[in-house]
């Protein structure tokens, strides 16, 4: 595990590490979500979905 730092707006420094044991699963879920969003985008452009404001 590699440690890294985050600096808050007030200057406070937080150091921690991440364990990426589920990286492949997360990437697969993200790919599925992106695919769904692209489909919705195409439907909207094609007028297949009515959008109310």
Q: What is the pLDDT of residue 53?
A: 65
Q: ∠ CA 13-17-21 to the nearest 5 degrees?
A: 155
Q: Tell whether pTM > 0.75.
A: no
CB 15 within 8 A of CB 5: yes
Q: What is the pLDDT of residue 26?
A: 86
CB 1 within 8 A of CB 18: yes
Average pLDDT, integer, range 34-41: 95
Q: What is the pLDDT of residue 44?
A: 87
Q: What is the pLDDT of residue 34?
A: 98
Express each pLDDT in 1-33 by its tens digit: 678 899 999 999 999 887 777 778 889 999 999
């Amino acid at each position: 595990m590699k440690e890294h730092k985050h600096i808050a707006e007030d200057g406070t420094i937080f150091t921690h590490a991440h364990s990426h044991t589920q990286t492949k699963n997360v990437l697969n879920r993200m790919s599925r979500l992106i695919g769904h969003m692209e489909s919705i985008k195409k439907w909207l452009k094609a007028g297949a979905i009515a959008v109310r404001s």
